[in-house]
Amino acid sequence: MKKVIIGMLVFVSVLFVNGLLAQSIDQGKKFIYYERYKSARDIFQKILATNPTNEEAIYWLGQTMILPDDKTNKDLSDAKKLYQTSLSATPSSTLIMAGIGHIELIEGKIQDARNHFEAAISLSQGKNIGVLNAVGFANGNPDAKNGDPVYAIEKLKQATQLKKFNSPDVLVNLGDAYRKNGDGGNAILSYQAALAMDPHYARANFRIGRLYQSQGKGQEFIFMEQYNNTIASDPAFAPVYSNLFNYYYETDVPRAAEYFEKWLANADDDPKACYYRASLKYAQGLFLETITKVNECVQSEGATPYPNLFRLLGLTYNRMKDSVKSKENFEEYFKRQLSENVAPGDYNLYAEVLLKFPGNETQAGLLIDKAVALDSVEQNKVFYIKTITSLYEAQKKYKEAADWYQKIIGFKKNPGKTDFYNAGYNYFRGGANDSSIAIFNQYTQKFPEDMFGYYMIGKATAVIDTAGVLGLAAPFYQKAIEMGEKSADKEKVKNQLIGAYKYFIEYYYNIKKDQAMALTYLDKAIALDPSDVQLVSNREFISKNNPKSTPKKPAVTKPKSGSSPKKK
Q: pLDDT band at 396, cuts 50/70/90?
A: very high
Name, in order, each residue with C-beta under 8 angstroms of 455's C-beta and a sequence gap of 6 or more.
476, 477, 480, 496, 499, 500, 565
Residue 464, helix vs strand vs coil: helix
Residues in the chain: 568
Say yes or no to pLDDT of 302 above 50. Answer: yes
DSSP secondary structure letters along 186-228: HHHHHHHHHHHH-TT-HHHHHHHHHHHHTT-TT-HHHHHHHHH
pLDDT in tens, 150-202: 999 999 999 999 998 999 999 999 999 999 999 999 999 999 999 999 999 99
pLDDT of residue 83: 97
pLDDT in tens, 344-357: 999 999 999 999 99
Say yes or no to pLDDT of 75 above 60. Answer: yes
Say yes or no to pLDDT of 1 above 50. Answer: no
Q: Where in the chain is the domain with CATH 1.25.40.10?
A: 449-568
pLDDT of residue 427: 97
Round the average pLDDT of the chain to a whole number and report it.
Answer: 91
Does residue 23 or residue 446 have the better pLDDT?
Answer: 446
Name, in order, each residue with C-beta under 8 angstroms of 548's C-beta and a sequence gap of 6 or more.
513, 515
Mean pLDDT of 375-383: 91
Name, in order, each residue with C-beta under 8 angstroms of 353's C-beta and a sequence gap of 6 or more.
314, 318, 323, 326, 327, 330
350 burial type by CB count under 10 A (0-12 exposed, 13-18 middle, 19+ buried):
buried
CA angle 177, 183, 187 (to 5 degrees): 60
Say yes or no to pLDDT of 6 above 70. Answer: no
Q: pLDDT band at 547, cuts 50/70/90?
A: confident
- Longest CA span, the chain: 134
Q: pLDDT band at 39, cuts 50/70/90?
A: very high
Say yes or no to pLDDT of 395 above 90. Answer: yes
pLDDT of residue 377: 86
Say yes or no to pLDDT of 401 above 60. Answer: yes
Identify the DSSP state of 470.
S
Say yes or no to pLDDT of 5 above 90. Answer: no
In whole angstroms, what separates CA 476 from the centre of its chain? 38
pLDDT of residue 73: 86
pLDDT of residue 560: 46
pLDDT in tens, 485-527: 999 898 899 999 999 999 999 999 999 999 999 999 999 999 9
CA angle 416, 418, 421 (to 5 degrees): 115
Identify the DSSP state of 519.
H
pLDDT of residue 433: 96
Q: pLDDT band at 231, cuts 50/70/90?
A: very high
Asked whether 61 and 333 are in contact (CB, 8 A), the reply is: no
pLDDT of residue 72: 83
pLDDT in tens, 464-479: 988 778 889 999 999 9
pLDDT of residue 70: 80
As a three-state string, the secondary structure of 343-362 is CHHHHHHHHHHHCCCCCCHH
Identify the DSSP state of 465.
S
pLDDT of residue 49: 95
Long-range contacts of 360-366 (CB under 8 A, 24+ apart): 361/388, 361/391, 361/400, 364/388, 365/404
pLDDT in tens, 101-130: 999 999 999 999 999 999 999 999 999 999
User: Phi, psi at residue 530, to the nearest 5°?
Assistant: -65, -20
* CA neighbours closer than 13 Å in the CB half-sphere of residue 488: 1
Mean pLDDT of 266-274: 85
pLDDT of residue 553: 52
Identify the DSSP state of 146.
T
Q: pLDDT band at 20, cuts 50/70/90?
A: low
Domain 449-568, second-level architecture: Alpha Horseshoe (1.25)
Percent composition of the chain: helix, strand, coil (DSSP 3-state, to 5): 70, 0, 30
User: Phi, psi at residue 548, to the nearest 5°?
Assistant: -80, -15
